[in-house]
Structure 1
Amino acid sequence: MMKKFPKFYLLLLSGGLALTQTSCNDLLDLKPLDAITDVSYWQTPNDFLLAANAFYTYERNFGEVAYDVVPNTTTVNYHADFNADIGFTGVANTTNNYSRGLNTIPVTDNNYNTAYSRIRNINYMLGKAGAFATPAAIKQYVAEAKFFRAYVYFDLLQFYGGVPIVDKTLEPGAPELQLPRNSRDEVVDFIIRDLTEALPDVPTKGAQATTDVGRVNKEVVQAFLGRVTLYEGTWQKFRGNASRATTLLDQSSAASNAVITSGGFSLFAPAVLGDSAQKYMFILENEKSNPASLTKSANNEYVLANRYNFTQRQIRNNISRQANNIIPTRNFANLYLSKDGLPIEKSPLFQGYATMKSEYLNRDNRMRYSLKVPGRAYWFGINNPRVDWTGGPADLKTANTVSFNPTINSSTGYANQKWISERAVADNEEGYDYPVIRYAEVLLNYAEAVYESKGSISDADLDKSLNLVRQRVNKTMPKLSNAFVSTNGLDMQTEIRRERTIELYMEGFRFDDLKRWNTAETVLKQPLLGIKWTGTEYQTTWAVKASTPKTANGELIVDATRSFGTKNYLLPIPSQQIQLNPNLQQTTGW
């Protein structure tokens, strides 16, 4: 018998149905919203609550990070890490035109259309709110609407740069439909204004009712403001606009610091899970999904989550199986530090590449819990689950693989284990939450914003942010400090960026990070590499790779066709949109 639905799940589902509509190819979806224009609607606060609930379906989800195209659609996942340098998707060596800089101007783009359809829904609700007799009774839902309008516009900013700002419902033929794109600065300022206006009218996390867990609160707004202003602050800094950059970066560090000092969140690090804590956080369910039988109530790291549940709202994307097919690159594997906190090229602890296992030894513990280690046992799927969670005979009897062989179903020799459930769960039925914003990101945002604003960062600021993330599952690894950087000839900026890439692996940040740092043009032109083959165990165990191109050091070259250029930092406006509104300027370079 299924459990009763929590109130927020019920309201989310009903609100989603209330605002569901089919998008069209115009700038805005101008079809009437039949389900919510009835004269009997918009009469009570509950009507606005249901409308606001529908906006939660706009949150990022597993389908947008584990796939390069949203399942069962043609919608490209522009945020996905597959667009960057750290992984492929699929069993075969599948490459991505966005990573290669080979995309062209599309006739239409679902990302563009869907964004403006969502903006119309939000503006429609806000318009109705303006005529409501008792504004105080619906102020929280108005604030949530503004948060999600900022959320959608931030996607548009990252994809296209400056885009048309629409802050009200437009009717067919409205002159605003023929306006040119707003500037990038105007879009950013609009996002910040919406978030700033939303902040006073949502509760703190501590003041939220139990039935409202999962809704936007003050810490969510501040965390997202920290993300937006870090993104744009670094975008401006590395394109020569120092004054605006500093203002935005200071705003970012202040917003992230507000979340930190609120005391409402902590990194998921239960002692009972030891250094496997982070691994199990990502597949945490209320059913037994980890050796300690911890449930979602133990996780205080997710600031905002797209919430799922095995009995109420399953993910319904084939997430474990798809994640099992994700293929990391050597470009990513080499980023993991050795246990002494040093990069592998500097560390005496690094064991080299002579055997299939050697490069995994003495490394950051996140490496062996994010990537699959050759020779170890792994589980997933309804037919190959954990039994007693000890790794003993009973577990091994049901393992999907008792001794993992990285030469099978991987073009690089590396394999992923993030997002893969180990319990007995059928395809599409996983129920773990997706972290739209998690506390680890907030900590890393703070460290980067402080450093990029000032050109330096104190040890105290590192200890309250980045070092907490690093030492969550690496208790004995030396902290990152100014003395450690100086003594070992490191670069602080490089180490801050390294930590971010490692921690947020396959969560949809890497491609956007490379763009805002203005390094994509360099990084994404480099070949994507696989394991070191020449002179290693692989030369015998993976003889079929003898004909695969290799670097001078004997590393597999799995993609050398890469031509990312200046114009590729932003996407082109779909040609159909230019036809509908000739005043829309095409993105520079396109």
Structure 2
Amino acid sequence: MKKITFQYKAFMTGLALLVLAGCNKLVDLKPINEISDADYWKTADQYKLAANEFYTYMITFANVLYDPAPGQPPSPHADIRSDLTASRSPFSNGSNALSVTDANWDNAYTRLRAINYLLAKDSVDIDNPLRPERLLYVAEAKFFRAYIYFDLLQQFGGVPIVTKPLTSGSPELQAPRNSRDEVVDLVIKDLEDAIAVLPLESAITAANKGRISKGAAQAFLGRVALYEGTWQKFRNGDANRYNGLLDKSIAASNAVITSTQYSLFAPAALGDSAQKYMFILEDEKSNPANITKSANKEYILANRYSYTLRQIRNNVTHTLIGGGISKKFADMYLCQDGLPIDKSPLFQGYGMTRSEFQNRDNRMRYTMMIDSNYYWDNENPGSRTNWTGDAADIASSKGRHNAASGTGYQNQKWATERRLNDNEEGYDWPVIRLAEVYLNYAEAVYERNGTISDADLDKSVNLVRNRVNKTMPKLSNSLVSANSLDMRTEIRRERTIELYLEGFRVDDLKRWKTAEIEMPMNVLGVKWSGTRWQTRWVVNGTSPYTVDANGFLIFEGSRTWAQKNYLLPIPTQQRALNPNLDQNPGW
């Protein structure tokens, strides 16, 4: 059989084809791996080929930046479902309804069928002397089973656990849902089994770069344990249970941090623009220093793309550049003295269209667009010529940005500046990156102990905030105390700012149990009354939207969030197929 290398290659067509049989997605007869069992499942390479398909299950641009992307299922982790963007989504304003079917549920069990099939083949051939060579791919399968079940948990809570291929007569098809604890315990066990086998990043050969490493599984365990630990803590769960989970999160994240296998992307040549260009990094020139993907050691696990071999095929740049952002998010950025805008003397107020961007966290000006600044995208003209900001570069720009639309706050994250046609972007999606691990560690330590030392802040949060803010004071206990700040709020602030538009915000609000407070808030825009906007941005002699008592534009009001919205409803078709599936509360 011809060997297929992993890097950027198309996955084997025969293994990628899922044959559906009936409506119940717990039963997919004719699994993908059924080539000829008499001839297959013999060598490590055959297990590797089967495991290759699992990498197509990873989250990517279509799952986070759209809801849904064309031809794709709904996107439960999309940031446009949150309180930080101006999207008017039924999932953000609480108007989503009970669903008959859910493609995410269906796809998850289709994928679990494929994963369980590989694991079953390994389990019946344990005496094979060649087995040690294939255990790496068994470990990958366990990672991806954990990955799928965690995704189901975030959406639906407890779900049916299936750990073997089923037939049409399997009793599991009529089984009730397993509890949250049972699902989480399975996820943790699978990850710990995988961690024991998977190699360090440094031990993965060049031909296999992009495959799951020990660090990726440890980082994901840190994410899972933090999620469920805080979910239980803020719902008055059993303290022994949630503290044990937080301990696991701390240990797993710390193992990644101390492994020294990864580092934040911060090339000196890019200065305080490093984070901006990390997200649009390609091997073609895509930044001022012509740095390529090989310099990025921050992505622990990535969904990998290439302009020449595997383009994203979503119109990422035009979707994201100029996209609406809420005032709430803009206000979260600290001033350069490390203080929030309501406490810092450096804050310049809202009077002018550019004033609130002055003296702020550098991530603000590289994530958001500033009125009257020059910007570039992938168009011709409109793309960059030399990244110097000289006359020729400016002449090739889109011109000065006019922010007088939407909320008045616009996004530039994920938008390329190099010339290419729509849908041809080739930057990678960070499934897991080191900055998240640092933030997971800090939050888990604080939630476990009710406090966090300056030393732990310095090995986590401060590395993230000072990556592009070299002179900003570190987050410390003395800074918090001297300025009447709240440490939990500051740790969450860093997480929200750093991981914006990466698929975390909705799930964070749910696990913190603050969605009921944050989500119903009006989505506000710029301050209109008494500012430059009032004379600049006028529609028929008045403001473009209703103005609140403080003079800010109300882009969207009348939002709601019921307790039932913390979980999605179990699809009614699945409950008809299996009457033992109970519905989530409120649905």
TM range (shorter): over 0.9
Q: Residue deviations 1:152-202, cap 9 Å, x none?
A: 111100000000000000001211100000000000001001001111111
Aligned pairs for 1:222-237 within 5 A: 222-237=218-233
Aligned pairs for 1:436-585 within 5 A: 436-544=431-539, 546=543, 548-585=545-582
Aligned pairs for 1:208-219 within 5 A: 208-219=204-215
Mapped partners of 2:548, 2:229: distance in 1: 37
Q: Is the 8 A contact 2:313 2:424 kept in 1?
A: yes
Mapped partners of 2:364, 2:441: distance in 1: 24
Structure 2 partner of 1:425: 420
Q: Is the 8 A contact 1:6 1:211 kept in 2?
A: no
User: Unmatched 5+ residue regions in structure 2?
Assistant: none
Mapped partners of 2:448, 2:42: distance in 1: 48
State the 1:325 CA deviation: 4.6
Distance 1:43 1:547, change over 3 A: closer
Q: Tell me the secondary structure at the aligned position of residue 328 of structure 1.
A: coil
Structure 1 partner of 2:253: 256
Mapped partners of 1:341, 1:44: distance in 2: 56
Alignment size in residue pairs: 576
Structure 2 partner of 1:40: 39
Structure 1 partner of 2:132: 136
Mapped partners of 1:332, 1:6: distance in 2: 45
Query: 1:164 is matched with which residue: 135, 160, 165?
Result: 160
Query: What letter matches 1:106 in structure 2?
Result: S
State the 1:390 CA deviation: 0.6
Q: Tell me the secondary structure at the aligned position of residue 6 of structure 2.
A: helix
Aligned pairs for 1:152-551 within 5 A: 152-241=148-237, 242-383=239-380, 384-400=382-398, 402-407=399-404, 410-544=405-539, 546=543, 548-551=545-548
Q: Residue deviations 1:507-553, cap 9 Å, x none?
A: 00000000000000111111111111111111011112625212111
Q: Is the 8 A contact 1:19 1:36 kept in 2?
A: no
Q: Is the 8 A contact 1:226 1:253 kept in 2?
A: yes
Mapped partners of 1:18, 1:69: distance in 2: 26
Structure 2 partner of 1:123: 116
Q: Residue deviations 1:221-257, cap 9 Å, x none?
A: 0000000000000001001122211110111011000
Mapped partners of 1:206, 1:573: distance in 2: 42
Q: Is the 8 A contact 2:320 2:412 kept in 1?
A: yes
Q: Tell me the secondary structure at the aligned position of residue 166 of structure 1.
A: coil
Structure 2 partner of 1:63: 62
Structure 1 partner of 2:91: 98
Query: 2:106 is matched with which residue: 107, 113, 138?
Result: 113
Distance 1:16 1:83, change over 3 A: farther
Query: What letter matches 2:438 in structure 1?
Result: L
Mapped partners of 2:189, 2:463: distance in 1: 31
Mapped partners of 1:122, 1:374: distance in 2: 50
What is the TM-score with the length of structure 1 in the denominator?
Answer: 0.96
Q: Is the 8 A contact 1:109 1:574 kept in 2?
A: yes
State the 1:425 CA deviation: 1.2
Percent identity over paired residues: 56
Mapped partners of 1:422, 1:137: distance in 2: 44
Mapped partners of 2:10, 2:186: distance in 1: 29
Q: Tell me the secondary structure at the aligned position of residue 86 of structure 1.
A: coil
Q: Is the 8 A contact 1:16 1:54 kept in 2?
A: no
Query: What letter matches 2:289 in structure 1?
Result: A
Q: Is the 8 A contact 1:305 1:433 kept in 2?
A: yes
State the 1:327 CA deviation: 1.1
Query: What letter matches 2:74 in structure 1?
Result: V
Deviates most, 390-399 or 272-281? 390-399
- Quick check: 1:79 aligned with 2:96? no
Mapped partners of 1:481, 1:17: distance in 2: 55
Q: Is the 8 A contact 1:87 1:329 kept in 2?
A: yes
Q: Residue deviations 1:480-512, cap 9 Å, x none?
A: 000000000000000000000000000000000
State the 1:131 CA deviation: 2.7
Query: What letter matches 2:262 in structure 1?
Result: F
Mapped partners of 2:40, 2:580: distance in 1: 37
Distance 1:458 1:539, change over 3 A: same
Q: Is the 8 A contact 2:29 2:167 kept in 1?
A: no
Q: Is the 8 A contact 1:108 1:577 kept in 2?
A: yes
Q: Tell me the secondary structure at the aligned position of residue 201 of structure 1.
A: coil
Query: What letter matches 2:220 in structure 1?
Result: F
State the 1:13 CA deviation: 2.1
Query: What letter matches 2:527 in structure 1?
Result: K
Query: What letter matches 2:23 in structure 1?
Result: N
Q: Is the 8 A contact 1:16 1:53 kept in 2?
A: no
Q: Residue deviations 1:419-465, cap 9 Å, x none?
A: 00101111111111100000000000000000000000000000000
Query: What letter matches 1:36 in structure 2?
Result: E
State the 1:17 CA deviation: 4.7
Mapped partners of 1:381, 1:26: distance in 2: 43
User: Unmatched 5+ residue regions in structure 1?
Assistant: 89-93
Q: Is the 8 A contact 1:567 1:588 kept in 2?
A: yes
Q: Residue deviations 1:268-289, cap 9 Å, x none?
A: 1111101000000000000000
Q: Is the 8 A contact 1:78 1:159 kept in 2?
A: yes
Q: Is the 8 A contact 2:378 2:417 kept in 1?
A: yes
Q: Is the 8 A contact 2:33 2:50 kept in 1?
A: no
Q: Residue deviations 1:201-227, cap 9 Å, x none?
A: 111111111111110011000000000
Query: What letter matches 1:465 in structure 2?
Result: S
Query: What letter matches 2:177 in structure 1?
Result: R
Mapped partners of 1:325, 1:22: distance in 2: 41
Mapped partners of 2:89, 2:401: distance in 1: 27
Distance 1:36 1:452, change over 3 A: same
Mapped partners of 1:328, 1:559: distance in 2: 12
Mapped partners of 2:508, 2:458: distance in 1: 23
Mapped partners of 1:160, 1:189: distance in 2: 16
Q: Is the 8 A contact 1:164 1:181 kept in 2?
A: yes
Mapped partners of 1:22, 1:390: distance in 2: 53
